[in-house]
Amino acid sequence: MVNLGLISGNKSANSVKISFRLPYLTQWGQSLLVCGSVPVLGSWNVKKGVLLTPFHEGTELVWSGSITVPKGFECEYTYYVVDDKKNIVRWEMGKKHELRLPESVQSGQEIEFRDLWQTGSDALPFRSAFRDVIFRQSWDSSIKTTTGVNHINLEPEAESILVQFKVFCPNIEKDTSIYLIGSNTKLGQWKVESGLKLSYADENAGSGNASIENGPNREVSINASRREAKYIYLSDGMIRETPWRGAGVAIPMFSIRSESDLGVGEFLDLKLLVDWAVASGFHLVQLLPINDTSVHQMWWDSYPYSSLSVFALHPLYLRVQALSKNIPEEIKQEIESAKQQLDGKDVDYEATMATKLSIAKKVFNQEKDLILNSSSFQEFFSENEGWLKPYAAFCFLRDFFETSERSQWGRFAHYSEDKLEKLVSKESLHYEIICFHYYVQYHLHLQLSEASEYARKKGVILKGDLPIGVDRNSVDTWVYPNLFRMNTSTGAPPDYFDKNGQNWGFPTYNWEEMSKDNYAWWRARLTQMGKYFTAYRIDHILGFFRIWELPDHAMTGLVGKFRPSIPLSQEKFGPAWTFVATTFLNEYDKSCYEFKEDSNTEKKIASKLKTSAESSLLLESEDKTRRSLFDLLQNIVLIRDPENPKHFYPRFNLEDTSSFQALDDHSKDVLKRLYYDYYFHRQENLWRQNALKTLPALLNSSEMLACGEDLGLIPSCVHPVMQELGLVGLRIQRMPNESDLEFGIPSQYSYMTVCAPSCHDCSTLRAWWEEDEDRRQRFFKNVMESDELPPDQCVPEIAHFIIRQHIESPSMWAIFPLQDLLALKEEYTARPAIEETINDPTNPKHYWRYRAHVTLESLNKDNELKTIIKDLVRWGGRSIPPEDSEVEASLISTSSAADAVSEKQQFAAISEKIGHPSESNGVPSKGPLAVR
């Protein structure tokens, strides 16, 4: 790109005036600013950008400004909303605007760029999920716009004004013609045959079904009083088609069952799952996290959200048969024997890990020199050594010291580059062990890459999962301790899942430290994920607004506070402080009690209780006694900040405490008003600003489609920010966002959502149906509109109704757990529904071991189930991926279809449809498409 922006705003003999024009409604005290890649636009320093001036045009507030540049000028630019000190309030998402002056522009002329503010939603079609997978065969990825030009004479003797129309149309087939029609004679006076045909790389005339874009007519006006020649570049956003909608299946990697696996799903099984997805009409396969979690080297590691490394893949998903083409016969026999032993109803995490690593080591010993010296491995190592070497060193130390607790590692407890290089040195005695970890990660990379590429070619998005936390004994906290608040834990306040809240045990993030290098650690995570996935789910996206932070001594999730948050302090109460302290903070007098020093935290209670239980001093059970003591400990209304004794936070759900109930009515009213203002009003702007600092770093670091898990207690700032950033939300019918609804209404969901009847954190559709008879009857009456008694079991007809509800919803995606789809056919419901649950959020030591009770090979042979599902998807108006035979047939029929329908007939068909919305399910269009 030519950098000619070093000149000032003064005109010269070879200068051109550039004007920017953008309609945008700002709030009081805010302004619009344009900043770009060249000095005259600030060189991406917003403080040096060009402020625009507002004016009213009808009901719109329009911002404009100009600069003077030399001929041949090129740059990129973006619009920002700033305050009166030029601090950024928000900025455009998506691709940067590109400015290139054509050679035909003469000195002294003025060029006006009329733009529209780009939101995150506008950029979605150019995310890799759509660009490289869904629309891959429809459009050359190098072509991003379709443009056309037309000269319009303002009056008989006036200078011509050249208007260039630009519209984005990523979901248009290459053999489709785009026509611009309008009220002006130059635009055909609404007659398509006389309209302006827009141009793109392929000039072939289109054929097939005719259609016209949806929505109201677009408008363009020219100021006739301006006499000088002028160019107008009109960027008119996206072509307005019926929004694309798709469907998918969700299943954890470990839950997949195939005839080739060793007791657990493996990356190469994804190819079979993709085949089944395509045949069932699905464009997406969603997984849970697949990173290595082997912190404890026992079944506790089955928890997929507690990463040992956010970069390393889990050895559990390795297919040992694919490690080499020359596996000795005795190892092949060992593999076959292991397949029989591990083929159980559920995953045996410990036995499966031990078996796979044992076999992998034997194959590694046979071919290590061949692999480690190969160009393929050297390329992998070169691209990944930044995380691969610390990971291998950590695994070696974990195994050598038999613990991941770094305080037990002696001089290696604290990480340094020098120590790392000694640990991974080729001269070290344990170098072969280090290389084995390289070797396993290399093959995991090859196998997942193979499955990922297979999915892309089949038109299926592979959707990953980005955990909100990492294990406190992880590679990442070892290497980057400054990025984490190690004296805290992450969790969730009381919600639908657990009335006591949740304590996940992860350290919270030090966002202030992370911001110093523009969140490089996060950006690296997303870049790594983007090698395999084209979409991802942000686990607990609320954590990027505010995280529920607990002291490290807590075991439940009740006694926490949001971070960031504005604390209450003594100073804020002024003269009323004495009343607050004596009434709410237990200034202990007669008949008041406090915990002893050795019993004043949950962990101290649990430890002391364990000792008492072993001495048989308790009449009650240990669990019941511990719960009673925890309730007493949590029976407070204000929590003192351990880092600042003058700061306090209202205890979540303080109305549930007996301390609150014992207060007089006036004190209750004061505390209730304080509580609701604190949690639902005063923090909103702080949390919004926090999210707008952190989330864009994630979204801009990869081209994957981002979805956010926005369940739980939702601050009002969350959904507007997600909409602005182009983040797709989640809707679970049994957990509606609306407080006045018991069951969500899928037909009323917004487009920017993923809808599902259940998820991995709750019971399956079948189990939910069986759990509560009264609730089942309310659903049957109010949602299914039947006055009869519902069946006790979720029969296929019930599952069909609920799945159809979701497929017919406006949501961009309808994604179904495999268990819910199997409920469509009675023969797959023989297994007790309760056994299909993946996670129990109320149990922090839940064993994640669910395996599907049917193999992928069997599912691929079941044409009846595939037809049932595909018909549901098709009838629901969602896009269906073409199967191989359909792709071949469409290629053969294209030329004959072009001959069968004349262009004149196409024009007539479009003209008749003006004013009527086109019917489309989001499948790429063929034939003339009119923009109006």
**Residue-wise pLDDT tens digits, 433-469:** 999 999 999 999 999 999 999 999 999 999 999 999 9
Average pLDDT over residues 517-540: 95
Least confident range from 38-42, 118-122, 311-315, 869-873: namely: 118-122
In this predicted model, which residue has the larger pLDDT, 595 or 319?
319
- The angle at the Cα of 264, spanning 261 to 270, to the nearest 5 degrees, equals 65
Name 335's Cβ contacts closer than 8 Å, sequence gap at least 6: 262, 320, 321, 327, 359
195 and 263, same domain (yes or no): no
234 and 251, same domain (yes or no): no
Residue 906 lies in a domain: no
For the chain, the straight-line distance linking the first and the last C-alpha, in angstroms and rounded, comes to: 33
Residue 27 lies in a domain: yes
198 and 268, same domain (yes or no): no
189 and 277, same domain (yes or no): no
Residue 405 lies in a domain: yes
pLDDT digits (tens, 9 = 90+) for 752-801: 999 999 999 999 999 999 999 999 999 999 999 999 999 999 999 999 99
Least confident range from 34-43, 743-752, 787-796, 923-932: namely: 923-932
Domain boundary among 486, 516, 536: 486
Domain boundary among 486, 510, 527: 486
Q: Which residues pair with 172 in a beta bridge?
A: 925
Highest averaged pLDDT of the listed ranges 215-224, 621-630, 688-697: 688-697
Look up the CATH number of the domain holding residue 21.
Answer: 2.60.40.10
* Four-point Cα dihedral 631, 636, 642, 646, nearest 10: 180
Of all residues in the chain, the percent with pLDDT exceeding 90 is: 55
Secondary structure class of 267 (helix, strand, coil) = helix
Q: Residue written as tokens 């110093």?
A: 516
- Residue 306 CB: number of other CB atoms within 10 A? 23
User: In whole angstroms, what is the distance from residue 76 CA to residue 754 CA?
Assistant: 33
How would DSSP label each residue in 187-250? GGGG-GGGSEEPB-S--PPP-S--EE--SSPP-----TT--S-EEEEEEEEE--PPPP-EEEEE
232 and 251, same domain (yes or no): no
Domain boundary among 468, 486, 504: 486
252 and 307, same domain (yes or no): yes
Q: Which residues pair with 80 in a beta bridge?
A: 33, 91
**How many separate domains does the chain show?**
2
Q: Which residues pair with 112 in a beta bridge?
A: 19, 232
Residue 353 lies in a domain: yes
135 and 263, same domain (yes or no): no
User: Quick one: DSSP state of residue 185?
Assistant: G
**pLDDT at 9 (0 to 100):** 41
426-459 burial, b for 16+ CB within 10 Å, e for fewer?
eeeebeeebbbbbbbbbbbbbbbeebbebbbebb
Under 8 Å between Cβ of 840 and 786: no
Look up the CATH number of the domain holding residue 311.
Answer: 3.20.20.80
User: In whole angstroms, what is the distance from residue 495 CA to residue 831 CA?
Assistant: 30
- Residue 571 CB: number of other CB atoms within 10 A? 8
105 and 191, same domain (yes or no): yes
Residue 359 lies in a domain: yes
In this predicted model, which residue has the larger pLDDT, 563 or 338?
338
In this predicted model, which residue has the larger pLDDT, 607 or 247?
247
What band does 11 get if pLDDT is binned at 50, 70 and 90?
very low
In this predicted model, which residue has the larger pLDDT, 718 or 888?
718
What tokens were used for 387?
């995380």
pLDDT above 80 (res 334):
yes
174 and 306, same domain (yes or no): no
Q: How far is CA 96 from the centre of its chain?
A: 22
783-804 burial, b for 16+ CB within 10 Å, e for fewer?
beeeeeebeeebebebbeebbb
In this predicted model, which residue has the larger pLDDT, 215 or 785?
785
356 and 234, same domain (yes or no): no
Residue 180 lies in a domain: yes
Residue 210 lies in a domain: no
297 and 427, same domain (yes or no): yes
How would DSSP label each residue in 418-439? HHHHHHT-TTSTTHHHHHHHHH
On average, the pLDDT of the chain sits at 82
110 and 186, same domain (yes or no): yes
In this predicted model, which residue has the larger pLDDT, 112 or 651?
112
What band does 655 get if pLDDT is binned at 50, 70 and 90?
confident
pLDDT above 90 (res 215):
no
- Of 167, 168, 171, give the one whose Cα is nearest residue 136: 171
**pLDDT at 757 (0 to 100):** 97
- The angle at the Cα of 165, spanning 164 to 167, to the nearest 5 degrees, equals 145
Residue 298 lies in a domain: yes
Average pLDDT over residues 694-701: 87
What band does 579 get if pLDDT is binned at 50, 70 and 90?
very low
Q: How far is CA 58 from CA 64, 182, 226, 626, in A?
A: 15, 20, 19, 68
In this predicted model, which residue has the larger pLDDT, 609 or 58?
58
Phi, psi of 121 (to 5 degrees): -65, -35
Q: Residue written as tokens 């303002």?
A: 154
pLDDT digits (tens, 9 = 90+) for 799-809: 999 999 999 99
User: In whole angstroms, what is the distance from residue 514 CA to residue 521 CA?
Assistant: 8
Average pLDDT over residues 613-629: 51
How would DSSP label each residue in 107-154? TT-EEEEE--PPPTGGGGGGSHIIIIIISTTTS-TT---EEEEEEEES
pLDDT above 50 (res 902):
no
Q: How far is CA 128 from the centre of its chain?
A: 13
pLDDT above 80 (res 872):
yes
Containing structural domain, residue 114: 15-141+155-202+220-238
